[in-house]
Chain A
Amino acid sequence: MKRGLLGLVISALVLLPPLGEPYVLHVAIVVLIHVVYAQALYVIMRMGYLSFGHAGYIALGGYTSALLATKLGISPWIGFLAGGIVAALFAWALGTVTLKLRGIYFSLSVFAFAEVVNAVFRAFEVFGGPAGIAAVPRPALFGTQLTTHLQFYYVVLVVSLVSLFFLYRLQWTRFGCTLLALRTRATEALAESIGINAARHKTFAFVVSCFFCGVMGAVHVHYLRFVSPFVFTFFLSTDLLVYVMVGGLGSYWGPMLGTVLLTGLGEQLFAAGYYKSLVYAVVLLVVILALPGGLISPPRIFRRGGREPAVPEAAAATAARER
């Protein structure tokens, strides 16, 4: 049943777009890109880590590819990969230092990192300064540049489906299950006692998370055909968090649900300017207060006999005092 539904959704995503108008395609592209961002963020949130700076890694990926394409004329296809790799390298460097810490220390250091990345892009002319980099080319396939929404939609679709499939499978590998065991300091100590190298697992998870953000960031920039320090800001990082939390941490489908609903809604609110963040924030607070497990979890009143909520919240409660 679930598999059939998934097949139906994927075939709709593949077959329907030629019928759609450019605007609908635009919304679909934006939603797909953000789904991958949120799902990548979910990798580390599953192990109890919260990042306030994923936009920094997205920006690193985007800038890498944009610079390669505009300064050196390197094909965006290579740029996508290069973007992912650069983001992953920086993630590795920061992760080895800060992932040893638990909770808020990690979150704050990633936040600071992203702000510095932005400041550096703003400061140096090599990176385009405050104006950013314009005229970022679209990738070409068999000699034709993919300039229309429809053509680029398929690029995004392929990259995001591959990423999402990988991230989905990752959960159920030995590695993915081990990440669940690292959620709290106590379980982490248990895992280490049976010979699991927690630090290496956590670093690798963070690297994977940032790799996909970097790749998708590169795709994103080539879609926008432009990047500046004001594209991937703190607000993107918080938006991603909002998507994941509103959707719910209990299952892989939670962040996806949250992202699809909110980015779709956000596009409708785009003209409303600042009201977009306002609506997001209100939705976030309402969901968190009423449904701490996110939209994917049933409301408290439907839960039988006051059963304990799913693992994430329980883990979060114990994690509260840890760093």
Chain B
Amino acid sequence: MDVYLHLIAQGLAIGLLTGILYVLIALGLTLIYGILHIVNFAHGEIYMLGAMGVFYGYVVLKLPFAMTLVAILVLSLLLGLVVERAFFRSLRGQWLQLVVASVGLSLIIQSLAWVAFGIQEKNVPSFFTGIVSFAGVRLPMERLVAAAVGAVLVALLYLLVYRTKVGLAMRAIEEDEETARMLGINADRVAALACAIGFALAALAGAFVAPIYSLNPGMGLEVILMSFLIIIVGGLGSITGTVLAGLLIGVLQSVGGVLVGAEAAYGLVFVVMIGVLIFRPAGLLGKA
């Protein structure tokens, strides 16, 4: 029994730490959805590119870790700007075309990645070694650091959206784009910024999980699935809802994995989503 409780506590802690990384990716999705009204399928690929970036920067080129991170940040921001300009802007308002274009983009990035990176799984050594024990729960340092960075990024995004002028513009566009444009808000520029920030969050999340998982070009798919579930459960466009749902689903997946096995835990998460759709169709904290 004691062993069981201990396992659950361990699962809970790991679940929370993983949940924060899901939150990072899901927040980018929610941010882009709020302004462009698309769910960006290519997001999982950006996460994958972030992780691959660490492998090629830190392991292959032997750059310092901080420098690798800065490079990933800059490149992902640029990629976000380019993608918004090249694909999303000309399709504004065409829901079907936009979503399908993002699927196309995802396929392009992934198939290029398979060609460029090969099928060999890649491993990145830990940036931070060591294990922290707390009340009998043992947590690897690298996961703690990743979660801490994730929490900081979430807090920064929160400040950006709710405490700055740009954030105000974002929320205005989400509320009513036409009126926002009439009031002189440059919606295209804000959309580009949202896209860039979303991409950067996903890439950084990828960078920090690089030492935790084996890397391959298909790794984005599972994460994007989880992020979709999270934004459905949390409510599209709601930052707080996304954070809550991300932590909830991270915990469900991890504790469920301990109790009933990983595949069944998948099913459990899905059941939660269906339940939310039945009783609160707009998500836990979404606007109905």
Q: How far is the CA of A39 from the CA of B282 in the complex (A)?
A: 30
Q: Does B37 contact A (CB under 8 A)?
A: yes
Q: How far is the CA of A229 from the CA of B227 in the complex (A)?
A: 22
A308 to chain B, nearest CB (A): 13
Query: Which residue of A is nearest B100, CB measured?
Result: A245
Residues facing A in B59-116 (CB within 8 A) are 87, 90-91, 93-101, 103-105, 107-108, 110-112, 114-115
Determine if B236 and A323 form an interchain contact, defined as CB atoms under 8 angstroms apart.
Answer: yes
Residues facing B in A275-320 (CB within 8 A) are 275-278, 280-282, 284-285, 288-289, 292, 312-313, 316-317, 319-320
Which of A50, A116, A120, A281 contacts B104, CB < 8 Å? A281
Residues of chain A lying within 8 A (CB to CB) of residue B115: 274-275, 278
Q: Does B47 contact A (CB under 8 A)?
A: no
Determine if A112 and B277 form an interchain contact, defined as CB atoms under 8 angstroms apart.
Answer: no
Q: Is the interface of B mostly helix, strand, loop or mixed?
A: helix
Determine if A123 and B96 form an interchain contact, defined as CB atoms under 8 angstroms apart.
Answer: no
Residues of chain A lying within 8 A (CB to CB) of residue B39: 104, 107-108
Determine if A320 and B107 form an interchain contact, defined as CB atoms under 8 angstroms apart.
Answer: no
Determine if A284 and B104 form an interchain contact, defined as CB atoms under 8 angstroms apart.
Answer: yes
Residues facing A in B174-232 (CB within 8 A) are 221, 225, 228-229, 231-232
Q: Does B281 contact A (CB under 8 A)?
A: yes
Residues of chain A lying within 8 A (CB to CB) of residue B97: 245, 288, 292, 313, 316
Determine if A277 and B110 form an interchain contact, defined as CB atoms under 8 angstroms apart.
Answer: yes
Binary flags per residue of A88-108, CB closer than 8 Å to B gives 1, else 0: 000000100110110111011
Residues facing B in A110-156 (CB within 8 A) are 111-113, 115-116, 119-120, 122-123
Determine if B108 and A101 form an interchain contact, defined as CB atoms under 8 angstroms apart.
Answer: no
Determine if A278 and B100 form an interchain contact, defined as CB atoms under 8 angstroms apart.
Answer: no
Residues of chain B lying within 8 A (CB to CB) of residue A52: 103
A-B contact count (CB 8 A): 140
A183 to chain B, nearest CB (A): 11
Determine if B264 and A285 form an interchain contact, defined as CB atoms under 8 angstroms apart.
Answer: no
A258 to chain B, nearest CB (A): 12
Q: How far is the CA of A123 from the CA of B261 in the complex (A)?
A: 9
Q: How many chain-B residues does the 8 Å CB contact rule pick out?
A: 45
Determine if B91 and A245 form an interchain contact, defined as CB atoms under 8 angstroms apart.
Answer: no
Residues of chain B lying within 8 A (CB to CB) of residue A55: none
Residues of chain B lying within 8 A (CB to CB) of residue A171: none
Determine if B104 and A242 form an interchain contact, defined as CB atoms under 8 angstroms apart.
Answer: yes
Determine if A288 and B270 form an interchain contact, defined as CB atoms under 8 angstroms apart.
Answer: no
Q: How far is the CA of A112 from the CA of B221 in the complex (A)?
A: 11
Task: Give chain A's interface residue range (CB within 8 Å of chain B).
Answer: 35 or more
Determine if B94 and A320 form an interchain contact, defined as CB atoms under 8 angstroms apart.
Answer: yes
Determine if A320 and B93 form an interchain contact, defined as CB atoms under 8 angstroms apart.
Answer: yes
Q: Does A252 contact B (CB under 8 A)?
A: no
Determine if B95 and A278 form an interchain contact, defined as CB atoms under 8 angstroms apart.
Answer: no
Known: A101-B277, A119-B267, A274-B114. A317 touches B95 (CB 8 A): yes
Residues of chain A lying within 8 A (CB to CB) of residue B95: 103, 316-317, 319-320
Determine if A109 and B273 form an interchain contact, defined as CB atoms under 8 angstroms apart.
Answer: yes
Q: Does B263 contact A (CB under 8 A)?
A: yes
Q: How far is the CA of A110 from the CA of B224 in the complex (A)?
A: 14
Q: Does A238 contact B (CB under 8 A)?
A: yes
Q: Does B166 contact A (CB under 8 A)?
A: no
Residues of chain A lying within 8 A (CB to CB) of residue B285: none
Binary flags per residue of A36-59, CB closer than 8 Å to B gives 1, else 0: 000000000100001010000000
Task: List residues of A whose CB falls within 8 A of some B CB.
Answer: 45, 50, 52, 94, 97-98, 100-101, 103-105, 107-109, 111-113, 115-116, 119-120, 122-123, 234-235, 238, 241-242, 245, 249, 273-278, 280-282, 284-285, 288-289, 292, 312-313, 316-317, 319-321, 323
20 pairs, A vs B, C-beta closer than 8 Å: A50-B96, A50-B99, A98-B277, A101-B281, A105-B277, A105-B281, A107-B39, A108-B231, A109-B232, A119-B267, A122-B263, A234-B221, A238-B107, A249-B96, A277-B107, A285-B87, A288-B100, A292-B94, A320-B95, A323-B236
